[in-house]
Amino acid sequence: MQDTDQLKSVKVAVMDTISREFSGQIASRDEQRQYVSQRLDEVFAKMGLQLEEYQRHHFRKEILDELAGYGPIQPLLDDPQNSEVMVMGPKQVYIERKGKLLDTDIVFDDDEHVMRVINRILHPLGLQVDWENPTADGRLPDGSRVNVVIPPVSIDGPCITIRKFLNTRFSIPELIELGSITQHMAEFLEACVRSRLNILISGNTSSGKTTLLNVLSGFIPDNERIVTIEDAAELDLGQKYLVRLETRPGNVDKRGEITTRQLVRNSLRMRPDRIIVGEVRGEETIDMLQAMNTGHEGSLCTLHSNSPRDAIARLETMVLMSGLDMPVVAIRKQISSAIDLIVHMARLEDGSRKITRIAEVTHMEGEVVTLSDLFMFQQTGKDEDDNILGEIRSTGLRPSFSPRLEVAGFRLRPQIFGIGGA
């Protein structure tokens, strides 16, 4: 059985036979794969298929992926080196690996084939897309985040974007080895977290904000009660008194939705020592700032922005989204008194992820929130492989909150701030 068209016809027939048998059954993916695998042997024998060993293996895997996986993109999701899988219509499938986009030779048969995979992804999550609701966001059973957009919104065909949940918890030494952070930065940030400063991690998409948030959260003492709030649970904290909360999208009628703002407000009634918000992106920002200003010191959150200054502007805009009738100056005062430190992450041109700036939020000058850069990344060029060269250096300034660090027991070495030798 060498003919490709004949194999394809047989494949469709086998899939149709097996899918009708467990259609409508509620079963886990593992149970489905086990069932399909058992039935394949029976169907192969009954149909008298004469296949070479490599053909049988490939044939089996294709059918398993179609009926109990996510079709052609399942091998990409199984590869631990891929951090993101992107489908743009049936003939364009890309991956992100080590921070860079790469083409693949994976294709779908047509738009209908992509839609079958989309429905297989969304149905177990209680979600669906159609003409009235052409977009959907969800979290897969393994923690990966999925976004779907279909026509007419997506002009060139159905789109799937899956950001894989990489169950790898980085340590400070590993981040230092990767060049994302320096030893001096690490000592400084540990002191800031343990001294209960409010820290905002900013950065562009896929810059490593959540990874850094996870690492910094690890500095929180084990005897403190932590409440984490996320759209999709990604933080992997080991503290004893940990409460993990996750938002919930509404159903097709938008009922049952639980928002970040609701969870932030609810967390204040849970006796938290620290509140960690995976990402602030809307009206919950004002509640987070007020929490930081009313006794919940040492809280952490992330935010999409292009620089620390841009992060301040985005916080201001998101507070305005809450509908509160507050003067802009009052909002800026809230921000300047709530946030102590902004740590900015960036994904550079070569795919590397680094802390490029650490800035202290000092005070207000007139109607402007002032920032003071403490550490900055300075690019010096590129090597022969187009890897970015540069160095993360202290600006030589000590933060104005140094007395708070000392009260907490941290007398940081002058070298950390570029004073004296290494």
Q: Which of 346, 360, 344 is nearest to 395 (CA)?
A: 360
**Of the candidates 269, 199, 257, 191, which has an alpha carbon nearest to the alpha carbon of residue 227?**
269
Is 151 in the same domain as 42?
A: no
User: Is the distance from CB of 378 to CB of 393 less than 8 angstroms?
Assistant: yes
| Same domain as 177, residue 150 | no
In a domain, 422, yes or no: no
Residues 125 and 237 both lie in one domain: no
Q: Per the structure, how many domains does the chain have? A: 3
Exposed/middle/buried for residue 337 (C-beta within 10 Å: 0-12, 13-18, 19+) = middle
Q: Are residues 136 and 179 in the same domain?
A: no
Please check whether residues 138 and 215 belong to one and the same domain. Answer: no
- For residues 363 and 382, membership in a common domain is answered with yes
Q: Are strands 341-347 and 388-394 parallel, antiparallel or unpaired?
A: unpaired
* Integer-rounded Cα radius of gyration of the chain: 25
Q: How far apart are CA 111 and CA 253, in angstroms?
A: 26
Nearest Cα neighbor of 87 from 126, 132, 130, 118 is 118
Q: For the chain, 422 residues long, give each residue's pLDDT as a single digit of tens.
A: 445 565 666 666 666 666 666 555 545 666 767 777 777 767 666 666 666 666 667 777 777 787 778 989 999 999 988 989 999 999 999 999 877 889 999 999 899 999 989 998 998 888 889 988 899 888 888 888 899 999 999 999 999 999 987 666 788 999 999 889 999 999 999 999 999 999 999 999 889 899 999 999 999 999 999 999 998 778 888 899 999 998 887 766 667 889 999 999 999 999 999 999 999 988 999 999 999 988 889 999 999 999 999 999 999 999 998 888 889 999 999 999 999 999 999 999 888 899 999 999 998 899 999 999 999 999 988 888 888 889 899 999 999 999 999 999 999 988 898 776 55
Q: Are residues 137 and 197 in the same domain?
A: no
The boundaries of the domain holding residue 108 are: 70-167
Is the same domain home to 102 and 231? no
Q: Contact, 345 vs 212, CB < 8 A?
A: yes
Do 33 and 15 have their domain in common? yes
Cα 178 from chain centre: 19
User: Any idea what the CATH number is for the domain that residue 117 is in?
Assistant: 3.30.450.370
- With tokens 């939705």, the residue in question is 257
Note the pTM of the prediction, 2 decimals: 0.80
286 and 312 housed in the same domain:
yes
